[in-house]
Structures are given as structure tokens and as C-alpha cells.
Structure 1
């Protein structure tokens, strides 16, 4: 089996029947089991409001205080399927793949590649102390001499489409496939981004709290051995 989750998760998969083993829910609909929170403000204020809550079967990123909800386990060669919406004002959020060293950027963001959910920008890549390449890099990232993966550099790589997101308040479906050093992204069925030569091929998965309230009703992981067309 080429696809490798963590040792813990892989053992769990093998214990399931073949039909069930293809999906591993990252969010169980009840609590934050399997995740831990990294919110810098909690370092100095233990009474700060939670950035991530579970309510009515939904995982909710409250947006503030800003930080990340990070899986305890690492994963490799997988498909993430998530369904999300902005229930109030639209704004910023994202799924971070191949996450590792915490607080590597701006003393907030873990080393990773972000798949953007910011309204009207869903599917952009952001390089966070990791790098990824796409076709038409200059057009989509800016002048090559300004590229980088740390503070002050051009870390954003534009997606391929406009108008793939649903009307604010409605649910969106995002699919992210990671195989070896390649990443592909779909939003509501539209193919919106593809990257290759990623400097990481495995790691943790993180959900952001970055200013806007976001609800997630699905967050599942599946092993893959090839990318979808």
C-alpha cells in the first residue's frame, strides 16, 4: 500500500473493512479528538475565548484569537475532502498541508503549504517556509526575484479560476489531493490549482483561525495512489 498515513492511522485503516478503510474522518462531529490547538495568545492569557469549537455537529473556526488547529498525526499521499461556509461576514481561512514546525512564520504559522479559503480566492497556494511550483509562475506569483517562503517575500500563488465559490452563506466543497511532491485542488467541482516540486511531501494538517468565522461540516481523509484527472 503506497499511501502512508501515520503509523497509528495506518493501523486503524487496516483494522477496518475495505469499503470503510478508504475514508478516515479527521473530524468526528463530536469533539476535537485527534487535534491540538496552537494559539499564541493563549501563552499569556489562559482565559482567552476558544478559537475552535464543536457545535451541532460542526467544527467551527471562530476566527479569533488567531491560530491553528493541528492534527496530532502526520499524513502522506492522501485526499482531503471538506465542506465549509462563512456563516457571517466572509473573510480569511485555510487548510494547511504538510505542516511541521509550529510558529515558523510571523510567530504564528506552522511550516506548511496553505490552500487558501479566503473568500473569492479559494484555491490559491501560500508558501509558508515550504515551496511549491506551478505553471506560469511569473504570471501567478510575480517577479521571480521577489519569490520566497518567509516574511516579506511573494509567497502567494494565484489559482486558475474565478467564480468557483458559492454565494456567501452557502456550503462550498474543497478537495485537496497530495501525492509525493504534487498537490491538486478543486472547489465545487472546478479544478482550481496544481503544484509540483513541493519541498514537503508529508506532515500534519491544520485548520486556520484567521479573522473570520468558518463552519466545517465535513473533513475527511482518504489514501490515494494516483492523482485524479
Structure 2
């Protein structure tokens, strides 16, 4: 996949992927529908917030959806503020209650099959508390991918983070530090809750894909960023990214910058 990084669009270096006004910079892919058919207005903007909503659905079925930012990135700090709201859509699977996420290092949405359920990608999974059970967030799931965890190839589909549980409809700040095909960190509020390396194509948990796209063993150095629709309403009020590509050859400068970004 060709790299097409751009310089930061704002003076402090943060690129606002979601502009708070519209979805013009995004592409939509919902399983069972062609690219950019926004079934039931699943993805919409209201009062400056990007909403994932199901009020026009009669039954969720298997309409797993993703909204992709228009360009790929390789090395970055991604910051997202999200919250779950309301009730799960009728017909949504039990495991998808208060469940959403960020897909990153994802395949180009133009290469997804019409009936493909999830993009080949790494997922930072959001889980909201159900009011009684402990449910960590910023977990790792791997549709068509694997990672290296504690120096060993990790092939199960999901692993929990060490985060606390966020019950109710409260806003949660999630951050991802993604350094090409080397290091990935999941961070919630001020805590680092999961660390792994060498994201790569491999494994299962994705269907109806083009076999030419799924090159098992290929390290994922870059890819698209997508927000997920899995049957529970969710809102995003901030999606912004600090591009770190130009710092990758200078570890000392990179670490200094990351310390400043994390303390602001």
C-alpha cells in the first residue's frame, strides 16, 4: 500500500480527522452493501458529534459497519473520545452489547468484499460497563491479523487490557500509539493498558474477503483508520491524530515528543 502521509493541518501538529461538521473525509462500508451506502443513516453527525445509530433499523442482523478516514497512516498518536448511549439494536449479538472499536492498519475499504464482515486490521476494542460486571476497554482483537505479545506470536482473536471499567454513558478518552510495524500501545485516560509488537496479517475471524488481500505473515507497516458499528449506539466527539512518521529515525526526539504529548 503506497504511503501518502501529509503534514499536520493545524499549528500544534494535531490533525482533526473528524471535523465536527460532516463525514466528507470518510468512506462507509457496511456488510452486505456497496461501499459508501450508508444503510439506515448508521453514521451521521449531530450537534458536532459523530454518531453511530440504529434508529432506522428494524433488525441489526449481520450489518457490521465501519467508517474509514480517507487516507492511510503509518506512525502516529491517535486520540479519540467516545461514549456508549442508549439501547442495543434489535437483533444485535449478545457479545456486541456496549461494544465498538477503532480498526487501524486496516485494508483499503475499496478492497473489501461486499459481504465482508470486518476489514483485515488490528482492532482496539471499546467495551462499556453493563452496570454490574467488570469489563475492560481498549482490548485487542485481530480480524485477519496476529501480533507479537511478550515475544511470542499471539493467535487467539482477543485479549483483555488492564483498564478499569467505565459504566454508564460517560465519555472516555482513548489513545493509540502506533509505530509502523514495530510497537503499539493502548492507553485509556492516563494509563497504558496494553502493549504489543509486530502487527501482521494472519489468522481468521474475518469472512468473505478477497484472498489476494490476505497475505498471511505480511507485517502491517501502515493502513487505514476506521470506527466501528457493531449494533450498540456510540458517539465520538473527538478523533484526532499526531503524525509521527518524520520522527521515526530519531528515537530520542520521538521519545521527547511523546512525553510532551502525553502530559498535555
| Equivalent residues in 2 for 1:153-164, closer than 5 Å | 154-159=156-161, 161-163=162-164
Over the aligned positions, Cα root-mean-square deviation in angstroms equals: 2.6
Query: Using the alignment, how far apart are the partners of 2:151 and 2:138 within structure 1?
Result: 16
**1:215 is the counterpart of 2:230:** no
Question: Quick one: which of 108, 120, 124 aligns to 1:111?
Answer: 120
Superposition deviation, residue 47 in structure 1:
8.5
| Alignment check: 8 A CA contact 1:35 1:69 kept | yes
TM-score (normalised: structure 1)? 0.78
Q: Which runs of 5+ in 2 are unaligned?
A: 55-59, 88-96, 129-134, 201-219, 248-253, 260-264
**1:131 is the counterpart of 2:146:** yes
The equivalent of 2:101 in structure 1 is 94
Question: Quick one: which of 223, 226, 236 aligns to 1:203?
Answer: 223
Structure 1 stretches of 4+ with a deviation exceeding 6 A read none
SS for the counterpart of 1:196 is strand
Query: Using the alignment, how far apart are the partners of 1:47 and 1:166 within structure 2?
Result: 29
SS for the counterpart of 2:142 is strand
Per the alignment, do residues 188 and 220 of structure 1 end up closer, same or farther by CA in structure 2, a change over 3 Å counting?
same
Q: Which runs of 5+ in 1 are unaligned?
A: 142-146, 148-153
Superposition deviation, residue 41 in structure 1:
3.3
The equivalent of 1:144 in structure 2 is none
Q: Choose 186-195 or 81-90, whichever is displaced more.
A: 81-90
| Equivalent residues in 2 for 1:41-190, closer than 5 Å | 41-43=32-34, 48-62=39-53, 65-89=63-87, 91-100=98-107, 102=109, 103=112, 107-119=116-128, 120-135=135-150, 147=155, 154-159=156-161, 161-163=162-164, 165-180=165-180, 181-190=182-191
Superposition deviation, residue 83 in structure 1:
0.5
Superposition deviation, residue 162 in structure 1:
4.3
Superposition deviation, residue 210 in structure 1:
0.3
TM-score (normalised: structure 2)? 0.68
